[in-house]
Structures are given as C-alpha cells and as structure tokens.
Chain A
Amino acid sequence: MSGDLAVDVRAVSKVFRDDKGRDVQALREVSFQVRRSQIVALTGRSGCGKTTLLRIIMGLEHPTSGTVDVDGEPVHGPGVNRGIVFQNAELLPWRTALGNVEFGLEARRLPKAQRRETAERAIELVGLKDAAHRRPHELSGGMRQRVGIARALAIDPAVLLMDEPFSALDAQTREKMQAELLEIHERTGKTIIFVSHDIDESVLLADRVVTLVPDPGRVHGVLDTAFGASTSLEERRGSAQFAQRRHELLQLVHGREIQQQDGVSV
C-alpha cells in the first residue's frame, strides 16, 4: 500500500434508478488519487456527478462498481476521518448556529465544556461570532453555508469534503474564507477535496484540478496546479503561474466543449 495516498478512487461507477424506473448513469469508471495533505478541486458542468462522487467518498452513497479507499481502508460508510460540507448547508432548523456546529461534535465523547469551546472556536473562525445564537432561518444563505463549513471543520477530520462551499458567498467573504481555508490547510495539513464551478478559485486553491464531463460523468482531465507552500492568495493571483494555469484549465474545459460538439450529430 502506498502510505502517501489519502484518497484512492478506483473505477467508480454509479447508476441511479430514477422515479420512472429508468437507469441513470451518474458516474462511469471514475478514477483519481489524492495524496495526503493535497487540495483537489472537482470541476465540471452541472449534472456531471460531482456531488455524487463526493457522497461516495463520504460513504453516504455506495458505488455500483469500483472502490474508494481512504487512508488505505476501503470505504463502507461514513467515518470520523472524513467531514463533509453539503451543497445546501443542511442545518438543523431547531438548533442555533452554534448548536449546529456542536451537533457534529456530539458523536465524539468530549466533555460538554470542551465541545462548546471547540464549536465556539469554529464559529469564530468562519466569522459568525455575533450570529452564533441565531437559528438557520434567521441567517442568510452565505451565513448558513459558513455554519456548514464550521460544523465540518470542528470535528477536525483528516479528509475534508466540500460541495461548492463558497458559491453562495459574496466576493469579499469568499476571499476571506478562501484565505482561511489555505491557512487551515497549512496549519493542519488536512486533505481537502472541494467542488467548484469557479475556474479561478480552483486554480488558486487547489494543488490539482480534476475536471469531469457529464452523460455519463467521467474524468475528462487532471491538471496539476500546485503553487509552492505558504504563498498567499494575493501572491498567487499576481503570479505568472496563475495566469498560465488558468489558461491551461480554460483550454481543458474549452476542449471539452469542442469534443462535445463533435459528438453531436447535427
């Protein structure tokens, strides 16, 4: 076993049965690997199976065929070594922001005071200290998403899975959260897999970008985009590397468009 691998997705296919009993192939033979402490972005247009893939890695969905290993162990269900940020936050409506973050911690047998303290730190980290005691319906969409991020961060998982974590945020908050993510990553060395529709974001944050194409969802290309460690967002944004990789990724995505047009018989 290569001890360096955090996540190993091997030939994963997923077929859903829709409401009318027809089979929908969401993923076909998807393979990619994530090394420990790597940040990987999953991109691709709507419906190409990004969420499905993330849920399979989380263990919330079982692949029709293929396997996923996390830290060398095959995934059979959710585990405390993985944390997930859902695409729609999915907070418990009857709990406050802080209470929702605490919920994630309740499966661990921590003393109550310590649990509260950990949750408060996570809430502070996402900039919601003043809103800690509001319920989800009293929060904006972006604030809810941040609570979701805090809930996943609080349990301190080795692998952090995030489904479009920043897409509901305004530009300012988003930038702050992106910087925060890099900071957390540097401090903790977590493995992070996130879904993003944003080319710039993918290139800026990720060490490696996996692009998927739909019908059925499969890997189209993998681009290594690693910046050196501890380069700030501004440094990255201003660098020639960024422009270069952004261009490469656009070409990869663009190439997909051309390929697809080829496939259409007009």
Chain B
Amino acid sequence: MTALADQAAPVEDETTLSRKIRSQRRGGRDRLVTTAGVVVLLIIWEIAARQVDPILAAPPSAVFTALIGMVGDGSLPTAVWESAQPFLVGYVLAIVVGVPVGLLIGRFRLVEAAIGWLVIAGYAMPMIALTPVFMLWFGLGFAVKAAMVMTMTVFAISINTWNGVQNVPRTLIEVGTAFCTSQPRILSQIVIPSVIPSIMTGLRIGIGKAVVGIVIAEFFTAIGGVGGVIVDAGHSFQPDRMFAAVVVLMLAAVALTSLVGLIERWLAPWNRSIAGGAR
C-alpha cells in the first residue's frame, strides 16, 4: 500500500474486490486438484483391488455398495452415533482442560517447572499401552471411550497452546506494560488473541488424535461404534463393510478438521492475512 492509496479510498476497495475474486478463483483451482486426487486414488484402488482375493480387499465399487446397504439397514448411522457421543465428550473435555493448562505452563515458569515434563511425556506416550488400565478404571462403556479420546487429545492441545504462549511477541506485551494494563487484561487482550492460531492448530491435530483414540477404545472393548463395526467386519471376512467403516472415519476426520479451520477463520480473521503459507 502506498501513500497514494491511503488518500484514494475507492482505489483500495477495487483492489480488495479483485483480491477476493482472485482468491475465489484460486479456491476453485484447489478444489479441482483435490477432486482429481480423489478420483485418481479411487481408480488405482479399484484396479488393484480387482486383482486380489475378495476376502482380502474390496474395490471402491463394492465398498460403496456396502456403504449404501449399511446406511439403509440403519447399522451405520447407529454406529456413528455411538462413536460420536463419547468422541465429542472426550474432545470437549480435552479442550476445557488442555487450553488452560497450556496457557498456565506458557505464562508461568513455576507451572512449567511443575508439570511441563508431564505434558511432554503424556504427548509422547503410546495410548495403546494404557488401554488395559483404562478398561479397569472406566469399565467397558461410554466412559472408557470418552477417557481414551480425552487422553489422546489433551496433550496435543496443551503443547500447542504452550508453544503459542511462548511465541507471543514480547513487543506486544510491552505495549500492555507501557499503557499500564493489568496482568489479567494483558492475558485476555494480548496473550490469548495471539495464541488463538496455535490453539486452533492444537485442535486440528487433536481431531486426528481423537479419531485414533475412539477407534482404539472400540477395538479393545469391542462394543459398538464405528470401531466395533470394523472389528466385526474384519472377523467375519467382510472387507467391503470394513473399508466402508474406515472410509466413514476418514471422511469424518476431514470434515471435522475443516470445521475447526472454519472456526479459526471466524475467531482470528486477521491471522490469514498476516501469516505466510501456501500460495
């Protein structure tokens, strides 16, 4: 932007408009590339799957048919609903716990010294190893699923939040200090807004973690949910049903991740304009 543009406002509005058009065009191009990627993958899968024993693999056409059937007889919607409830409860708990913990660790050295190591260790811990213990503690129902999702997700969210707090520009905190802003207001008006992008990154990574968490829980407890469908189909040599359930999981993960992206754009619209990234 030049001094010229700053006097002639209409010119700037025009550039905003053309920028919008250009970004829409770019969005169209991106969608085309994504669709092409999916189509190519499906074709390769179809060709490859037709070469092997139908007990071992199912081509997309068969998976699609199975999917229709499972939706039709109501088994899939029931399974998705059974998984979605503990998934949501665990995920929301992970946010409610993970974000404040990350903020505290990042802002106060004492808290970092006390529990920073725990969060790092928790993040690196393979959840599968804890499953038997969790089953002892939480039984074989709803609670154990929610607990697994929460434990899988909370550390990713905490670590990203923590990292975000450490990267808050010192100069902006100084603005608060210079204008005699109170500590709580520095936290709410400067630290948290600048950490939002990092928190959202944690939430996005958390979706993937949470999906893994719910599947592990349902594999081990083998009661209901999409994970249960996968185990049953696997045991009864029905690869088409199994893949159908896996595809549903993948689609759900992608949809939820985009949802988090949308929320981020709504919460922190300035971030896309100031941060670098793929063009």
Contacts and interface: CB of A to CB of B under 8 A. Distances in A.
A141 B5 CA distance: 12
Contacts of B51: none
B6 to A, nearest CB: 5
Nearest to B268: A94
B40 interface: no
A72 interface: no
B172 A107 contact: no
Contacts of A79: 180
A58 interface: yes
Given A137-B270, A137-B273, A140-B1, A92 B190 contact: yes
Interface in B261-279: 268, 270-271, 273-274
Given A92-B172, A139-B1, A140-B2, A107 B273 contact: no
27 contacts: A60-B177, A77-B177, A78-B179, A78-B180, A79-B180, A83-B179, A90-B174, A92-B172, A92-B175, A92-B189, A92-B193, A93-B271, A94-B193, A94-B194, A103-B175, A103-B179, A107-B182, A107-B185, A135-B270, A135-B273, A137-B274, A140-B6, A142-B3, A142-B6, A151-B179, A155-B179, A170-B3
Interface of A: 58, 60, 77-80, 83-84, 86, 88, 90, 92-94, 103-104, 106-107, 130-131, 135, 137-143, 151, 155, 169-170, 172-173
Interface in B58-95: none
Contacts of B182: 107
B133 interface: no
For the complex, would chain B's binding face be called helix, strand, loop or mixed by DSSP majority?
helix
A107 B189 CA distance: 12
Given A77-B177, A78-B179, A141-B1, 5 more contacts: A79-B180, A88-B171, A106-B189, A137-B273, A143-B6
A135 B16 CA distance: 14
B180 A107 contact: yes
A106 B185 contact: yes
B178 interface: yes
Contacts of A170: 3
A86 B270 contact: no
B7 to A, nearest CB: 9
B258 interface: no
Nearest to A96: B270
Query: Interface residues of B toward A: which range?
Result: 20 to 34
A104 B5 contact: no
Contacts of A77: 177
A94 B6 CA distance: 20
Contacts of A103: 175, 179, 181, 189
B274 A93 contact: yes
A251 B271 CA distance: 49
A151 B175 CA distance: 11
B9 interface: yes
A86 B3 contact: no
A260 B174 CA distance: 35
Q: Which of B3, B172, B268 has the most CB of A within 10 A?
A: B3
Q: Which of B1, B6, B182, B271 has the most CB of A within 10 A?
A: B6
B110 to A, nearest CB: 22
Contacts of A137: 270, 273-274
> Top 3 nearest A-B pairs by Cβ distance?
A170-B3, A140-B1, A107-B180
A105 to B, nearest CB: 8
B181 A107 contact: yes
A151 B1 CA distance: 22
A118 B270 CA distance: 25
Contacts of A86: 171, 175
Nearest to A157: B179
Contact of B3 (A106, A131, A140): A140
B255 to A, nearest CB: 27
Contacts of A131: 6
Contacts of B181: 103, 106-107
